[in-house]
C-alpha cells in the first residue's frame, strides 16, 4: 500500500487546517514514521483527537496504519532509488512518470494558487531564479509570463544574480526552482530578501522537507524520480512546468476579460 495512492483521492476534500496538516505530513514523512501521535500532534499544535480525525479522513483506519504505510512507502522509495529506472519495463516507467505528474498537480493547494494569482494581479516584476536543468525550464517560464505582459527578470549567472537581488522590491514576486531545496546560494538569497521589505517568495521544490521550502512564503512541491545519465541529471521537470503554467492560467482566469484575448481550441 502506497501512502500517496491512499491519500490523493481525498486531498480535495480537506479544509484549510487539514491542508496545513497534510503539508506538514508530506514534508516530514521521515520524521513522522518514528513518532507517536502525541508527539506529532504537539508539533502541529493540535490535539491528538484532531490529528486522529485527520488521519482517518485521508484514508487510514488509525495512527498505527498511518505510520506503517508511511514506513512501507519510504522503504519502497529507497529501494527504487538503488535501481536504474530503465531496469523496469517501459510500461511501468510510463506509469510512474504519469503518476508523478498526477500527484504533483493533485496535491496543489487551491488557496495557495489563488494567493499567487491575486498577487500577480498587481502586476509585480517577476524575478526567476534557477540553476542547472531548471535554467532551461525558466526560459520557457519567462516566455509565458512575458507573453502575458509581465516584466520578467531572469539572471542566469551568479554575478548577475548578486546585482539583481539588490533591485528586488517588496511589491515584486520571486520564483525559485530547486528540486533539492538545499542550495546555499538560494538560502542566502532568501535571507537577504527577508532582511528588507520582503517580496512574495514562491518556491517549487521536491516533496521532501528542505530549507528553501521552509523559508518560502508559498511552496509548491512536486513528485518525480531523480534520473542521472553518465553522472548528468536528466530528471523530469514536467511537474514544475505544469505548476508554473497553472499559476499563470489561474491568474488569466481571474483577469479582466478586456485585458487578454484567450482562445481555447
4-34 pLDDT, tens digit per residue, is 888 878 877 888 788 788 878 887 888 888 8
Boundaries of every domain in the chain = 3-82, 110-254
CB under 8 Å to 164, separation ≥6 — which residues?
Answer: 127, 153, 155
Give pTM, 2 decimals.
0.65
Specify whether the CB–CB gap between 120 and 251 falls below 8 A. yes
- How would you classify the pairing of strands 152-153 and 126-130? parallel
67-86 pLDDT, tens digit per residue, is 999 988 888 765 554 444 44
Q: What is the maximum span of the chain, computed from C-alpha positions, in angstroms?
A: 55
133 vs 18: CA distance, rounded Å: 34
CB atoms within 10 A of CB 233: 13
Cell of 191: 535571507
Cα 59 to chain centroid, rounded = 23
18 vs 51: CA distance, rounded Å: 9
CATH topology (fold) of 3-82? Arc Repressor Mutant, subunit A (1.10.10)
154-200 pLDDT, tens digit per residue, is 999 999 999 999 899 999 999 999 888 878 899 889 888 887 778 99
Q: SS3 letters for the chain? A: CCHHHHHHHHHHHCCHHHHHHHHHHHHCHHHHCCCCHHHHHHHHCCCHHHHHHHHHHCCCCCHHHHHHHHHHHHHHHHHHHCCCCCCCCHHHHHHHHHHHHHHHHHCCCHHHHHHHHHHHCCCCCEEEEECCHHHHHHHHHHHHHHHCCCCEECCCCHHHHHHHHHHCCCCCEEEEECCCCCCHHHHHHHHHHHCCCCCEEEEEEECCCCHHHHHCCEEEEECCCCCEECCEECCCCHHHHHHHHHHHHHHHHHCCCCCCCCCCC
- Average pLDDT of the chain is 84
Going 180 to 182 to 188 to 193, the CA torsion angle's sign is: positive
130-159 pLDDT, tens digit per residue, is 988 888 889 999 999 999 999 999 999 999
Instruction: Tell which CATH classification among 3.40.50.300, 3.40.50.10490, 3.10.450.50, 3.90.320.10 matches the domain 110-254.
Output: 3.40.50.10490
96 vs 90: CA distance, rounded Å: 10
Q: What percent of the chain has pLDDT over 90?
A: 39
Amino acid at each position: 500500500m502506497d501512502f500517496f495512492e491512499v491519500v490523493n483521492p481525498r486531498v480535495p476534500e480537506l479544509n484549510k487546517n487539514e491542508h496545513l496538516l497534510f503539508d506538514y505530513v508530506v514534508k516530514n514523512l521521515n520524521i513522522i514514521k518514528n513518532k507517536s501521535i502525541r508527539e506529532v500532534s504537539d508539533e502541529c499544535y493540535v490535539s491528538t483527537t484532531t490529528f486522529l480525525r485527520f488521519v482517518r479522513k485521508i484514508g487510514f483506519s488509525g495512527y498505527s496504519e498511518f505510520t506503517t504505510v508511511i514506513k512501507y512507502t519510504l522503504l519502497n522509495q529507497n529501494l527504487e532509488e538503488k535501481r536504474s529506472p530503465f531496469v523496469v519495463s517501459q510500461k511501468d516507467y510510463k506509469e510512474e512518470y504519469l503518476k508523478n505528474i498526477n500527484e504533483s498537480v493533485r496535491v496543489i493547494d487551491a488557496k495557495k494558487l489563488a494567493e499567487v494569482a491575486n498577487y500577480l494581479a498587481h502586476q509585480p516584476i517577476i524575478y526567476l531564479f534557477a540553476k542547472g536543468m531548471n535554467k532551461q525550464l525558466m526560459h520557457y517560464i519567462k516566455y509565458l509570463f512575458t507573453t502575458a505582459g509581465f516584466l520578467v527578470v531572469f539572471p542566469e549567472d551568479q554575478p548577475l544574480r548578486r546585482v539583481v537581488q539588490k533591485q528586488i522590491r517588496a511589491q515584486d514576486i520571486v520564483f525559485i526552482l530547486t528540486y533539492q531545496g538545499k542550495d546555499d546560494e538560494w538560502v542566502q538569497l532568501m535571507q537577504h530578501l527577508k532582511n528588507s521589505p520582503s517580496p512574495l517568495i514562491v518556491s517549487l521544490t521536491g516533496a521532501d522537507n528542505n530549507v528553501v521550502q521552509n523559508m518560502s512564503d508559498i511552496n509548491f512541491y512536486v513528485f518525480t524520480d531523480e534520473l542521472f545519465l553518465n553522472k548528468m541529471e536528466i530528471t523530469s521537470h514536467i511537474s514544475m512546468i505544469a505548476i508554473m503554467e497553472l499559476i499563470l492560467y489561474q491568474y488569466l482566469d481571474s483577469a479582466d476579460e478586456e485585458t487578454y484575448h484567450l482562445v481555447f481550441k
